Each structure stands twice: as C-alpha cells, then as structure tokens.
Chain A
Amino acid sequence: MKHARILYQGQAVEAQVLENNAVRLPDGVTLSEQQAVWLPPAQGTVFALGLNYADHAAELAFKAPTEPLVFLKSPSTLTGHHQVSVRPANVAYMHYECELVVIIGKTARKVSREQAMDHVAGYSVCNDYAVRDYLENYYRPNLRVKNRDTLTPIGPWWVDKADVPDPSRLALRTWVNGELKQEGNTRDMVFDIPFLIEYLSSFMTLSPGDMIATGTPEGLADVVPGDEVVVEVEGVGRLVNHIVSEADYEARCAHRN
C-alpha cells in the first residue's frame, strides 16, 4: 500500500494512494494526482548520506568513505511531489540526486544488522538537490548547500516494506525534460540499509517517521529554471519536480502574502 500526506483545505491529512495515483482522503474525498497538493509523506528526522555509491565517489574524485558520511536535513528544505525547487540567482552548478529513502516504522536503539529491517516501515524517493557553488568542502555538506528551502523534494508517497521485496536491487533513474540523465542501482551502495540502521542506532535513537536518504549514484548534471526533473526508484515511486528561478519564486511568495 502507498501512503501520502496531502494538503487539503489548509490541513495536512493522511491519504491512501489509489490506481492512477489518485488519493483518497480520510473523509472519503478522492483527488486526482494533479488535483492533490502533495506534502512530504512522513515527518521526522531526515538523515542523508554523502558518497554512498562508489561510482559517485569516484565521479567526485573522492575515495569512498570507511564510515557512513551522515548529514541531516530539517523540515524547511522538504517539499512534495509536483512542487517547485528554486535555483538561486548567480550560481554556476545546481544538480539533482535521485535517492532511495528508508522510512523508520519502529523505535530503533542499538539494533543489530540482523534485526534492522524489523524497524523499517517502508520506502520513498527523494531528490537531494545540491548547489555546488556553496560547497566550501565535500566532507562537511553545509546546510547552505543541502538544506535550502525547497531543495529536497520527497515522495510522492511511501510504500509498505512488504511491497518492495528486495530494496538492495532497485534501479534509480533521473530524467531532465524527458532525457535520461542518471542511472544506477541500489546494489552499488557502499553501506546498505541494514548497516545504516545498525550504525545510526548504535549512537542515537531512531523514531517512527525518521527518514534515511541513502545516497546517489553517478550521473549528475546542472539544472536550470524551466526544467522538469523526474527521479524514480523502481517499485517505489516517481517524483516530479520543476526548477524555478529565485525571481519567479519570490514573486510567487509575494503574491501568496
């Protein structure tokens, strides 16, 4: 089953995703994919992994790390399916990153690799955009690079764990304006999902709703205002997003206020 959060009449509501990506709200109202205002599908701490695909590390001319390179995101950067992401004015390089997201379903504290999957509720997809111009160094992905408003679309929904039999064998793909730009497979992760849960829970408590964005494979490219960017994880979901300029976005915000 697929679970979404939808903004409806000013309120965030849990929704079930039907055939054709329509959503059914708790009061029985059904909205089409295009009618629905999609929110990030879960709420909790968001962990993200740097350089967790060996090919991507090589692309950046870095050795793959020997310990997971974890950073955090806050709710301010998250946005949903069919929303916009802002490319700041006067930057040279902003790129997408297609990632499988693990949704925690049960509190995890000092969980072993063998038990780790018992703590997973399901999976989602995110696009972990980065503005490379602001990266003062790779080993400390600053919030200015990775936590900017609107730069982490996530969704459209999360899928029950039972519906994804083998998360270590899923194709990841990114299209920009319909052209396939990035392609990889979760089998190439440096640190797999059970390891990441064992690692994180060895020093902190994970709670239901927490999300782990597991890193991206090689194939990054610049995106500019007007681009439609689609990231897909096989069997999990296809997340659509549009790039807008800072000026356009500010105009929208001013209009809304």
Chain B
Amino acid sequence: MARGRIIQHQQVRTVLRQADGTLRLDDDAPLADDARWLPPQTGTVYGVALNHRSLLDAMAAAFEDAPYKAPPQAPVLFIKTSNTGIGHLEPIPFPADAERIQAGGALGVVIGKRARKVLAENALAHVAGYTVVNEVSLPETSFYRPAVKAKCRDGFCPAGPLIVPADGIDPQTLEARTYVNGQLKETNRCADLARGVAQLIADVSEFMTLEAGDMLIAGTPLRTVDLTPGDVVSVVIDGVGRLENPVIAEGSLQ
C-alpha cells in the first residue's frame, strides 16, 4: 500500500492510500484539516551527480581537461541534508542571495532493507518503493566543487507525496516530467541514466551501507528548468505520483 507522512495537530502520522484512492491515517481515521505533507522518506537522502547521459555528453570534452583528465570512475554522490526536505504542496524558498534556482525532477528510490555490498542482480530486492523528488539546486558553476551551498538550501528537496511499493515496477521504464505553471519543461527518463537504479545501489553499497528509509535520487539531466517566485512546479512520474510545490521568495516565508 502506498504510504506517506503528514504532520497534524503537531504530530507526525503515517498516511496510507486506500484501494479506492482515498487517504487515511494508519489507524483508519481521516486526515485532519490542518494536515500538511512531510517528505515520505525518513533516512539520509543521497543524490547522484553526473548520472544522466545528457549531462555526460555535454561535459565529455571538459572531463579531459586538467586537473581531472578523465571522466569520474565511481558514482559522484552528494547529500541532501535534512533541512532541504519538504513535503508535497509545501513552499520552496527562493533564497534572497540567489539569482537563479533550478528544478530537478527525478525518481526517488527508497530503501526497504539494509543494502551493503549487494550485487546489481539482487539490488532491487532492497528497494521498498519509489517516490517523486524535485532536487532543487542553484545553477552549478562547477561540477567539481562540493556543492553544499548550491544543493543544501532550506526546502531544496521536495519529495512525495507517497512511497509507492516497488512490486511490479521496473524503474528503468519510468520518466519524471517537470511542469512549471502547468507547462511541460523537461522529461527525465530513467532509461537515460548512466547507472540505472540496480547498478547504482550496487556501486554505492560497495563502500557505504544504505539503511531502510534512506533514499537515492536516481539522477537529473543537464539543468534547464528555472524557477522564480510565484511559480508552481510539479513533477509527475506515472504510476508513482505527482509532487507539486509553489516557489516563494524567502523573505515572505515565516
């Protein structure tokens, strides 16, 4: 059953989607009027840089420059810290010091069972389910610099609304479509990932344990989708969900 998290009456609660599509709390009560969405995952969120063919193709020449002189050999991971996590319909703050921010519609892979040194052929057995992520970022001037300042702004990782069980889903067939104010701006196909979901779990868990509740963001293409205050951005993955968030100037949020 698809599940998510909300906060209501200052309490965090689990939400389950019923067979008829309605949402109920895990004790079968309806949601309260003040219910607000939280990100559905509870663990560490890892993003993967340079995992989309469009990005690798665009950077192919740059990889040969000094001091690197070769494309990266291992997955280049980054962490979306807990201050970045917001739920469905919550506002994305547009930072006062930023000139541009960009959407990053992507598949979220939520771990269900500890993954440590797993093989690609067994990797999907460690997935609890999938969700929708908008991996918001400032434009990256260099993919080589640690991007904490670009990637870890408050509210820069909307996710949800729900985690849909992995059973019967082939992640390679999914695509994340990003809309700004209802207009389609980008389609991110998992088939275009340099490392697909199973290979990614294998390569990451080779050196780092993924715990139940952790989430991997499968990868975003070359950034093209700008967001400005007043926009409403939504990311849709058929069969997984639709994640919508307004963009609001930081100063107007309290």
Report Cα–Cα, A44/B83, bound state, in Å.
10
When distances are taken between beta carbons in the complex, the residues of chain B under 8 Å from A148 are: 207-208
When distances are taken between beta carbons in the complex, the residues of chain A under 8 Å from B168 are: none
From known contacts A137-B67, A204-B152, infer whether A142 and B74 are also in contact, taking CB-CB under 8 Å.
Answer: yes
When distances are taken between beta carbons in the complex, the residues of chain A under 8 Å from B73 are: 136
Q: Are A203 and B44 interface neighbours, CB within 8 A?
A: no
When distances are taken between beta carbons in the complex, the residues of chain B under 8 Å from A30 are: none
A205 interfacial contact with B, CB 8 Å? yes
Report Cα–Cα, A76/B146, bound state, in Å.
19
Q: Are B208 and A45 interface neighbours, CB within 8 A?
A: no
Report Cα–Cα, A133/B234, bound state, in Å.
41
A77 interfacial contact with B, CB 8 Å? yes
| CB interface residues, A 12-33, toward B, < 8 Å | none
Report Cα–Cα, A81/B83, bound state, in Å.
28
Complex interface bits, A86-114 against B, C-beta within 8 A gives 1, otherwise 0: 00100000000000000000000100000
Report Cα–Cα, A47/B152, bound state, in Å.
12
> In this complex, what residue of A is CB-closest to B206?
A144
When distances are taken between beta carbons in the complex, the residues of chain B under 8 Å from A69 are: 146
Q: Are A144 and B146 interface neighbours, CB within 8 A?
A: no
Q: Which one of A72, A88, A109, A202 lies within 8 Å of B81 (CB-CB)?
A: A72
Report Cα–Cα, A207/B73, bound state, in Å.
34
Instruction: State how many angstroms separate the Cβ of A242 from the closest Cβ of chain B.
Output: 20
> In this complex, what residue of A is CB-closest to B83?
A205
| CB interface residues, B 30-77, toward A, < 8 Å | 44, 46, 67-68, 70, 72-77
> In this complex, what residue of A is CB-closest to B144?
A140
B186 interfacial contact with A, CB 8 Å? no
Q: Are B83 and A147 interface neighbours, CB within 8 A?
A: no
> In this complex, what residue of A is CB-closest to B143?
A140
A74 interfacial contact with B, CB 8 Å? yes
Report Cα–Cα, A71/B148, bound state, in Å.
7
Q: Are A144 and B207 interface neighbours, CB within 8 A?
A: yes
Q: How large is the interface on A (under 10, 10 to 19, 20 to 34, 35 or more residues)?
A: 20 to 34
When distances are taken between beta carbons in the complex, the residues of chain A under 8 Å from B152 are: 72, 203-204
From known contacts A45-B82, A144-B207, infer whether A204 and B154 are also in contact, taking CB-CB under 8 Å.
Answer: yes
From known contacts A76-B211, A147-B208, A149-B208, infer whether A137 and B144 are also in contact, taking CB-CB under 8 Å.
Answer: yes
Q: Which one of B67, B68, B77 lies within 8 Å of A143 (CB-CB)?
A: B77
When distances are taken between beta carbons in the complex, the residues of chain A under 8 Å from B79 are: 72-74, 143
When distances are taken between beta carbons in the complex, the residues of chain B under 8 Å from A50 are: 146
Q: Are A142 and B77 interface neighbours, CB within 8 A?
A: yes
Instruction: State how many angstroms separate the Cβ of B137 from the closest Cβ of chain A.
Output: 12
> In this complex, what residue of A is CB-closest to B117?
A250
Q: Are A76 and B154 interface neighbours, CB within 8 A?
A: no
A126 interfacial contact with B, CB 8 Å? no
Instruction: State how many angstroms separate the Cβ of B109 from the closest Cβ of chain A.
Output: 16
Instruction: State how many angstroms separate the Cβ of A34 from the closest Cβ of chain B.
Output: 27
> In this complex, what residue of A is CB-closest to B67?
A137
- Chain B CB count within 10 A is highest, among A72, A139, A147, for A72
When distances are taken between beta carbons in the complex, the residues of chain B under 8 Å from A136 are: 68, 70, 72-74
Q: Are B95 and A72 interface neighbours, CB within 8 A?
A: no
Complex interface bits, A202-223 against B, C-beta within 8 A gives 1, otherwise 0: 1111010000000000000000
From known contacts A72-B148, A136-B73, A137-B144, infer whether A203 and B153 are also in contact, taking CB-CB under 8 Å.
Answer: yes
Report Cα–Cα, A234/B211, bound state, in Å.
35
Q: Are B146 and A140 interface neighbours, CB within 8 A?
A: yes
Report Cα–Cα, A44/B95, bound state, in Å.
23
Q: Are A45 and B207 interface neighbours, CB within 8 A?
A: no
Report Cα–Cα, A207/B82, bound state, in Å.
10
> In this complex, what residue of B is CB-closest to A67?
B149
A116 interfacial contact with B, CB 8 Å? no
| CB interface residues, A 170-207, toward B, < 8 Å | 202-205, 207
Q: Are A74 and B148 interface neighbours, CB within 8 A?
A: no
Report Cα–Cα, A71/B185, bound state, in Å.
31
From known contacts A139-B145, A144-B207, A205-B154, infer whether A45 and B81 are also in contact, taking CB-CB under 8 Å.
Answer: yes
B interface with A by C-beta (< 8 Å): 44, 46, 67-68, 70, 72-79, 81-84, 95, 97, 116, 143-146, 148-149, 152-154, 207-211
26 A-B contacts (beta carbon < 8 Å): A44-B82, A45-B81, A70-B146, A72-B148, A75-B211, A77-B208, A137-B68, A140-B145, A142-B76, A142-B77, A143-B46, A143-B77, A144-B74, A144-B75, A144-B77, A144-B208, A147-B208, A149-B208, A149-B209, A203-B97, A203-B152, A203-B153, A204-B148, A204-B152, A205-B154, A253-B116
